[in-house]
Amino acid sequence: MQKKRRKNFFKRFDYILLLTVILLVVFGLIIISSATANSRAGSFHYLKQQGIAFGLGFIAIIILALIDYDWWGKLYLVIYVFCNLLLVAVLIFGFGEKEWGARSWLSIAGFSFQPSELVKIGLIISMAKIIDNNKESINRIFTLFKILVFATIPIGLICLQPDYGTAFVFVFFIGIMLFIAGIDLKYIFYSAIAAIIALPVFYFSLEDSRKNRILDFFNQERDVLGSGYQVDQSIIAIGSGQFTGRGLYNGLQSQFGYIPESQTDFIFAVLGEELGMIGGASLILLYLIMLLRLINISKKTEDLFGSLIVVGIIGMFIFHIFENIGMTMGLTPVTGIPLPFISYGGTFLLANMIAIGLSLSVGVRKEGLRF
């Protein structure tokens, strides 16, 4: 019996998804090495840190794939409380407001990490379970209110950092999860109206630097030597790459430091300049394969909880991919959202690989197989 279960596990394991993720990480390491070639620390420092995160992430994928995802559903309240405590700890003990404009980081025993990246995964699990527990009455006002309060607490704590870009990621994947769970369209319509009405209040509550990002989005020639400099240089870099690119380590904008944060938020500009349209299209193709494999897992999963976990992960990836590539091309406002598996960042890479591990766990048990 155990031998049969093991055989079924390996038969249902999505090797294409895992291979695609590995290719994305390798792609990212290559671009990071180019983006940091002329940095003070040198590319080896960045590659070492990213390589460690990749190693830990790969181990996490294997472990999580072997664990029945239903166990995480049983612990959803513990996970939810822990996530909120992490976010409270960030507000009290965190740092980063001077460097990046938001208190988003924690340091424990000399190890620095960004808790909100891990909280994304925790909240996806927690939201999937609370929606699953209330699926029969999800369109009742009280039930929906309870779910929204459940979701709002961690989002509110992230807004207090303030990290609005990450908060928008949460809002997006939660909205997708509720939609797939069967929420009445009238509630989506009411939410859209409320969001539109709240936009002026939200805008005038922003700091000047964040207001400038929005103004620069609507008028990209407004301040190309100031607040719009980063996007302007990014557009120049991507445009100069044309079809085949200037070649790795040969980008003018990227190698001479004209693109701030080129190894993190604006890494797609490096890719576009040095590998051109071919490189950009190759990356998007890998993302498309990954998303299609995840969609396939979600569609074939029998229980709502497992399906919603994967739906939340899909929503998270879609927002990051669309927003990051869009902002480097001036198509969306700059929010500081990194590119999955490509941007430098240990916590971010680890969280993304944990998400893949959870998805693989759902995938091997999508037809009720349990170990």
pLDDT tens digit sequence for 80-137: 999 999 999 999 998 888 777 788 889 887 788 899 999 999 999 999 999 999 998 9
Q: Mean of the pLDDT values across residues 337-346?
A: 94
9 inside domain: no
263 inside domain: yes
Q: What is the pLDDT of residues 230-253, one digit of tens each?
A: 899 999 999 999 999 999 999 998
Is the Cβ–Cβ distance between 231 and 334 less than 8 Å? yes
What's the pLDDT score for residue 367?
62
pLDDT at 78 over 80: yes
Query: Is residue 9 classed exposed, middle or buried when 0-12, 13-18 and 19+ CB atoms within 10 A define those classes?
Result: middle
DSSP 172: H
Q: Mean of the pLDDT values across residues 136-150?
A: 93
CA 157 to chain centre: 18
Q: What is the pLDDT of residues 174-184, one digit of tens each?
A: 999 999 999 99
103 inside domain: yes
7 inside domain: no
Q: Is 162 left (phi over 0), alpha (psi -120 to 50) or beta?
A: beta
What's the pLDDT score for residue 317?
98
Computed over every residue of the chain, the mean pLDDT equals: 91
What's the pLDDT score for residue 10?
76
12 inside domain: no
Distance CA 371, CA 361 (A): 11
Cα–Cα distances in angstroms (integers) from residue 322 to residues 12, 135, 172, 328, in the given order: 30, 30, 12, 10
Domain count, the chain: 1
58 inside domain: no
129 inside domain: yes
162 inside domain: yes
Distance CA 309, CA 181 (A): 11
Q: CA end-to-end span of the chain, whole Å?
A: 10
Beta strands in the chain (DSSP E): 106-108, 111-113
Distance CA 115, CA 223 (A): 33
- pLDDT band (50, 70, 90) for residue 69: very high
Q: Is 67 left (phi over 0), alpha (psi -120 to 50) or beta?
A: beta
Distance CA 344, CA 267 (A): 8
Three-state SS letters, 204-259? HHCCHHHHHHHHHHHCCCCCCCCCCHHHHHHHHHHHHHCCCCCCCCCCHHHHCCCC
93: domain range?
A: 68-336
